[in-house]
Amino acid sequence: MLARERQKQIKELVLSRKTLKISELSKKFKVSDMTIHRDIKAMVESGFVVKTFGGISLANQATNVSNRNECVVCYKSINFRLSCRLILTENRVETTCCMHCSFIRNQMLDHEVLEILCDDFFTSTTISARNAYFVMDTTLDLGCCQPQLLPFNQKEHAKRFVRGFGGTVVTFSEVMEIHWEKSKGCC
């Protein structure tokens, strides 16, 4: 297996499991602990994960979190499952009320954004927004910013949601092509 593929799998594992042991990773991928240390080096440096004793854990408990109860873009208080986290360079983490504000922030900060974490709308597990599918223009109003973007890990789930509540399924890069602005009256 290529290092890149292994790193991608480690990323996905840490997203779903939150913490991982180096020894279990080396066993799983049949490589040395040294190799795993090399694999996770960039993830640790980018602030995506933090080192723990004998392992790594997802950086959402990082100390460097900006005011967690407020969206960095629209200052709406964060109290529900649409909220997202932006993992930035230099171990910074920011919280937004929903994917709408995450895309605005992503455009503002550009290459400083290393990762955007959001929760799958069905399963509430943490996923990477870059691999997610989004439902836009759905009739179900969740009361956050418009246009809404609901994240799904699986395209099939997004499609099923659309069958029930309407809307269109778009990918991260398709959403990136839209010019995001703080919509009037939003938040």
Taking CB under 5 A as the binding criterion, the range among 2-10, 11-19, 36-44, 73-81 that sits at the site for Zn ion is: 73-81
- Tell me the closest approach of the beta carbon of residue 100 to Zn ion, in angstroms: 5
Q: Which is nearer to Zn ion, 16 or 183 (CB)?
A: 183
Smallest CA-to-CA distance from 135 within 109, 162, 111 is with 162
- Tell me the closest approach of the beta carbon of residue 2 to Zn ion, in angstroms: 38
Q: Which is nearer to Zn ion, 53 or 124 (CB)?
A: 124
β-bridge mates for residue 94, sequence order:
86
- From candidates 25, 49, 74, 88, binder to Zn ion by CB under 5 A: 74
Q: Omega of the bond prior to 151 within 30 degrees of 0, cis?
A: no
Please tell me the distance from the alpha carbon of residue 20 to that of residue 28, in angstroms, as a whole number.
11
Residue 24, burial from CB neighbour count under 10 angstroms (0-12, 13-18, 19+): middle
User: What would the two tokens of residue 164 be?
Assistant: 């029930």
Please tell me the distance from the alpha carbon of residue 102 to that of residue 3, in angstroms, as a whole number.
30
| Residue 73 binds to Zn ion (criterion: CB under 5 A) | yes
Per-residue mark of binding to Zn ion, 95-124 (x: CB under 5 A): --xx--x-----------------------
Q: Which of residues 143-162 bind Zn ion (CB under 5 A)?
A: 144-145
By CB under 5 A, name the binding residues for Zn ion. 71, 73-74, 76, 97-98, 101, 144-145
